[in-house]
Structure 1
Amino acid sequence: MSRITRTKIIATVGPASSSKAMLKKLMQAGVNTFRLNFSHGTHEQHKEVIDSIHELNEDLKTHVGILADLQGPKIRIGEVLNDEADLRNESELLLTTNKIISDSKKIFVNYKKFAAEVKQNDSILIDDGQIELKVISTNKKDTVKCVVVNGGIISSRKGVNLPHTDISLPSLTKKDLEDLDFALKQNVNWIALSFVRSANDIHQLKKIISRSQKNTKVIAKIEKPQAVKNISEIIMASDAVMIARGDLGVEMPQQDIPISQKTIITKCIQHSKPVIIATQIMQSMVENPRPTRAEINDVANGIFDGADALMLSAETATGNFPVRVIETIKDIALTIEKQESIYNKKQVPDINSKTYLSDAICYNACKIADDVNAAAIISMTRSGYTGFMISSYRPQSRILVFMEDTQLLSTLSFVWGVETFEYRKFVSTDETIEDVKDIALEFGRVKKGDIVINTAAMPVHWKGTTNMLKISVVD
């Protein structure tokens, strides 16, 4: 009970964590959602993991979610001769879209429109910014002449970033579409779209999901300067946002990342959209059993800022201490969550919103809960909408969501503060309110004498707008 945190944890599955036994340990340690990285692994390997998570959810009576992270349109260099080329500072280098074996004089880039879209003086970053080139000229067809600004040893198939270039790559590649089709058939809860540039990228993905008649939610990964520029429209179009600090830190000045992170989190909370902080959360724990002081502060600041979830990548995918890193984040979260400043965000529902009635109920549930020191806000919902909305107000009371759709319960798994319960009775409103209070009592979420706030749609079996708020005492 005392180990439940408001801030959620997303763990990437990889060689260190793909066995059913390790997945179980991670779930028991506190993982709320598992991320499958489609840049790696086969469909068969991902299916085995998905099946294991579904089986463990059945066995453990949990609702741990599954996030499928699409690779996206990544530009890469090709094969390097002997897998090593020494690029010297101030030397000239040709980049070509004609397939060759690359060396220190000429390198193949796998994007056909590369020469047509880069401009003189544009920066080209290779290998997460370890190598920096500057464009001298381009023939606009197949060859770009560059000068090496920051050189070094380069190896095959490293990624290429173009921070100041507007590229016309499609947001979904052929591989992404195949991975998306697979993920939807496996009933994953979330699809993360990489290298989002505008709301249109999200709209395209949602159209495909809609045609599949799935209710899978979409996460916009913010990892390009264009996405930061268009952040308001992207937040509105998405179901959640991930601040992917890896590529973002390569494509924009690193000193701007903390400000962007805080701004994006604030905007997401204002629009009731879950927000994830990702990349190098506990990077040192890939090799070491203890985090650095800087990593502890980074996690703490993310929680203070109001992030719904922290996402681990190599730490759980390939690291030596996957369970320990989960326990470490939980320890930090439990300590920070004792601070009152992270609760009760100062925002009010938008009177012009189409969902204003429901939003006002959720807002007042949180306000009354704070006024009367309620132990819990209990939401009985069909769509899960009130779970997202109540969470965005960051109440100090527990948020207990009861619904019959287990798929949606798992979707809510990384939403801040939300604790989920499968519930199928929904008879009369009064009976249901008493029943869910008894279940909350049975699971130790409340105790006798506690004040609770209930929200629901009336009549309770109606799949409509949340229109009821009731204050009661657990007896």
Structure 2
Amino acid sequence: MPKIKKTKIVATLGPATSKKEVIVDMIKAGVDVFRINFSHADYEDVKERVAIIREINAEMETNIAILGDLQGPKLRVGVMAEEVVVAPGDEITFVTGKPFEGNSERVYMNYAAFPKDVNPGERILLDDGKLMFEVISTNKKDKVRAKVIQGGPLKSKKGVNLPNTNISLPALTEKDVEDAIFAISLDVDWIALSFVRHSQDIIDLQNIIKEHGKHKIPIIAKIEKPEAVENIDKIVSYCDGLMVARGDLGVEVPAHEVPLIQKKLVLRAKKARIPVIIATQMMETMITSLTPTRAEVNDVANSVMDGADAVMLSGETSVGNYPVEVIEKMASILSSVENSELIIVPQEPPHIRTNRYITKSVCYHAAIMANEIKAKAISTLTNSGYTAFQISAWRPSSYILVFTSNRRILTQLNLLWGVKAFYYDKYVSTDETIEDVNVIACKKGFLEQGDMLISLAAMPIKDKGMVNTLRVTEIKTCNI
């Protein structure tokens, strides 16, 4: 019987993970999704890595997914001419327009609308909140005067957060549109949108995908702004997954509020039956150390206990010294906690009678029944992947085996908790197809003689319609 972790691992590609051998070792260690961070992406490098991953998928018969992560409106200061250290009470002017080298009196800001957007009394945070300023005045054109509240070294090209400011910049910058079109041309499996604030941000990206893509590419909304937390219900109505991006979120809102926000966002995703990824600093010390801290181990474990579909590594795999070892360590944490009885999934049956109500209800009852009869697996035939999302959200203790003739969704589904997808295109009669699928599940080692199996299908099977049938089988023989 294969030992398969159900919580998925997303690993960021970078200089430390550019060779095929390293990528193969990471997959063997437990990676399910590779993230391309377009904040630091060279198009030729990206093309090469995507080709390597697809080559490995063909060679190893894996379905590793590719997630393109758009940078979003990243505000930064310019280059500093010299070492500048600011102290509380100091005053400094942020200047837009033509870039220049900054000093202790003036610093360049890359965001042209900055003077128009900010107001006196609002905070400016630099370098992940290490430096804090308060706006004294703005000429609404090109200069903002600010006072230092929390000092320290003011370094070149550091990121800027404006937690109290209503930014006029769209979530999709010109760079993001270019990057999105490039990602679509590569047929990536998922696209993540940074600094989402409103549902319109998602709609704008959906329109770009429709215009430039051959297929629908699902969108993950990265929640890292207070407005996104406030507008979460509308955002969830349009996106296909959430990412709790705790780095910028922990700067934009007080850090002590992030743990509860994380829990609320996971619950909201579960209610919407969409996957949720927990990201940022999960195993940060393993960038340079072979051993994570106890707090990091606890953080990864607690994210699983909260109900995350996936946990994400950033610098640990993109620039870290131990990209394979960090995956092994993370996979061992996931395997040790994900089957705990302490994890409670909100069990509220679907009650809104949409046109997919029957399918939702069948999936819900399949997950409940699988736990009751201790079924080893739930198998489902799907063309769109919808049933995989539904069953995964209920967190059954059984394997979730998905069979599809739609190659496009094989890799997409690899992000979902507990889902294992297989290519299957012999739709004959219901009985023959289900028998056939059972043989494959036995062959792959998911079922043994005497195991209980729940099979979901749409009848008539050739029509590939919505799931309307649940069947319970005891495996009489697994002789292949």
Aligned to 1:445: 446
**Contact conserved, 1:218 with 1:239, CA < 8 A, in 2?**
yes
**Contact conserved, 2:2 with 2:445, CA < 8 A, in 1?**
no
Aligned to 1:188: 188
Secondary structure at the aligned position of 1:434 is classed as: helix
Moved over 4 A (4+): none
Aligned to 2:361: 360
**Contact conserved, 1:63 with 1:406, CA < 8 A, in 2?**
no
User: In 1, distance between residues paired with 2:352 and 2:68?
Assistant: 35
**Contact conserved, 1:343 with 1:396, CA < 8 A, in 2?**
no
Aligned to 2:261: 260
Aligned counterparts, 1:107-256, within 5 A: 107-212=107-212, 213-256=214-257
User: In 2, distance between residues paired with 1:31 and 1:275?
Assistant: 16
**Contact conserved, 2:9 with 2:30, CA < 8 A, in 1?**
yes
User: In 2, distance between residues paired with 1:405 and 1:19?
Assistant: 30
Quote the offset at 1:338 in angstroms. 3.3
User: In 1, distance between residues paired with 2:339 and 2:246?
Assistant: 27
Aligned to 1:87: 86
Q: Deviations over 1:386-442 (max 9, x none)?
A: 000000111111111011222201001010110111111111111110011111111
Query: Percent of aligned pairs with the same residue?
Result: 47
Opposite residue 217 of structure 1, the aligned amino acid is P
User: In 1, distance between residues paired with 2:443 and 2:96?
Assistant: 64
User: In 2, distance between residues paired with 1:357 and 1:3?
Assistant: 32
Q: Deviations over 1:136-186 (max 9, x none)?
A: 111111111110011111121111110010001022111111111111111
Q: Deviations over 1:266-302 (max 9, x none)?
A: 0100110100000001001011101100001101110
Opposite residue 166 of structure 1, the aligned amino acid is N
Q: Deviations over 1:72-103 (max 9, x none)?
A: 11111112113x32212211111111333211
User: In 2, distance between residues paired with 1:453 and 1:344?
Assistant: 20
Opposite residue 286 of structure 2, the aligned amino acid is M
User: In 2, distance between residues paired with 1:344 and 1:431?
Assistant: 34
Which consecutive residues of structure 1, in runs of 5 or more, have no partner in the other structure? none
Quote the offset at 1:188 in angstroms. 0.5
Aligned to 2:97: 98
When residues 429 and 343 of structure 1 are mapped into structure 2, their CA distance, relative to the original with a 3 A threshold, is farther
Return 257-266 or 320-329, whichever deviates more.
320-329
Aligned to 1:372: 373
Aligned to 2:42: 42
Aligned length: 474
**Contact conserved, 2:385 with 2:413, CA < 8 A, in 1?**
yes
**Contact conserved, 1:456 with 1:469, CA < 8 A, in 2?**
yes
Is 1:385 the counterpart of 2:366? The answer is no
Opposite residue 216 of structure 1, the aligned amino acid is I
Aligned to 1:329: 330
User: In 1, distance between residues paired with 2:274 and 2:287?
Assistant: 30
Return 294-303 or 203-212, whichever deviates more.
203-212
Opposite residue 148 of structure 2, the aligned amino acid is V
User: In 1, distance between residues paired with 2:101 and 2:11?
Assistant: 37
Opposite residue 123 of structure 1, the aligned amino acid is R
When residues 366 and 338 of structure 1 are mapped into structure 2, their CA distance, relative to the original with a 3 A threshold, is closer
Q: Deviations over 1:183-205 (max 9, x none)?
A: 11111000000110011100110
**Contact conserved, 1:76 with 1:160, CA < 8 A, in 2?**
yes
TM-score by structure 1 length?
0.98
Return 293-302 or 368-377, whichever deviates more.
368-377
User: In 2, distance between residues paired with 1:276 and 1:158?
Assistant: 26
Q: RMSD between aligned alpha carbons?
A: 1.1
Is 1:29 the counterpart of 2:24? The answer is no
Quote the offset at 1:2 in angstroms. 4.5
Opposite residue 469 of structure 1, the aligned amino acid is L
Secondary structure at the aligned position of 2:36 is classed as: strand
**Contact conserved, 1:3 with 1:330, CA < 8 A, in 2?**
no
User: In 2, distance between residues paired with 1:251 and 1:354?
Assistant: 39
User: In 1, distance between residues paired with 2:3 and 2:37?
Assistant: 28
**Contact conserved, 1:344 with 1:395, CA < 8 A, in 2?**
no
Secondary structure at the aligned position of 1:466 is classed as: coil
**Contact conserved, 2:181 with 2:208, CA < 8 A, in 1?**
no
Secondary structure at the aligned position of 2:221 is classed as: strand
Q: Deviations over 1:23-73 (max 9, x none)?
A: 111111110000001111310000000000000000000100000001111
TM-score by structure 2 length?
0.97
When residues 211 and 461 of structure 1 are mapped into structure 2, their CA distance, relative to the original with a 3 A threshold, is farther
When residues 198 and 40 of structure 1 are mapped into structure 2, their CA distance, relative to the original with a 3 A threshold, is same
Opposite residue 88 of structure 1, the aligned amino acid is A
When residues 347 and 54 of structure 1 are mapped into structure 2, their CA distance, relative to the original with a 3 A threshold, is same
Opposite residue 149 of structure 1, the aligned amino acid is I
Opposite residue 146 of structure 1, the aligned amino acid is A
Aligned counterparts, 1:247-326, within 5 A: 247-326=248-327
Aligned to 2:474: 473
User: In 2, distance between residues paired with 1:3 and 1:249?
Assistant: 35
Aligned to 2:348: 347
Opposite residue 52 of structure 2, the aligned amino acid is S
Opposite residue 282 of structure 2, the aligned amino acid is I
User: In 2, distance between residues paired with 1:130 and 1:277?
Assistant: 23
**Contact conserved, 1:29 with 1:327, CA < 8 A, in 2?**
yes
User: In 1, distance between residues paired with 2:343 and 2:53?
Assistant: 31
User: In 2, distance between residues paired with 1:343 and 1:27?
Assistant: 29
User: In 1, distance between residues paired with 2:133 and 2:326?
Assistant: 37
Secondary structure at the aligned position of 1:111 is classed as: coil
**Contact conserved, 1:92 with 1:148, CA < 8 A, in 2?**
yes
User: In 2, distance between residues paired with 1:320 and 1:205?
Assistant: 35
Q: Deviations over 1:80-131 (max 9, x none)?
A: 113x322122111111113332111011111111111101110000111111
User: In 1, distance between residues paired with 2:93 and 2:404?
Assistant: 59
Which consecutive residues of structure 2, in runs of 5 or more, have no partner in the other structure? none
User: In 1, distance between residues paired with 2:355 and 2:246?
Assistant: 34
User: In 2, distance between residues paired with 1:464 and 1:211?
Assistant: 27
User: In 2, distance between residues paired with 1:329 and 1:122?
Assistant: 40
User: In 2, distance between residues paired with 1:31 and 1:406?
Assistant: 20
User: In 2, distance between residues paired with 1:93 and 1:386?
Assistant: 56
Secondary structure at the aligned position of 1:234 is classed as: helix
Aligned to 2:16: 16
Quote the offset at 1:342 in angstroms. 2.4
Return 358-367 or 348-357, whichever deviates more.
348-357
Return 350-359 or 63-72, whichever deviates more.
350-359
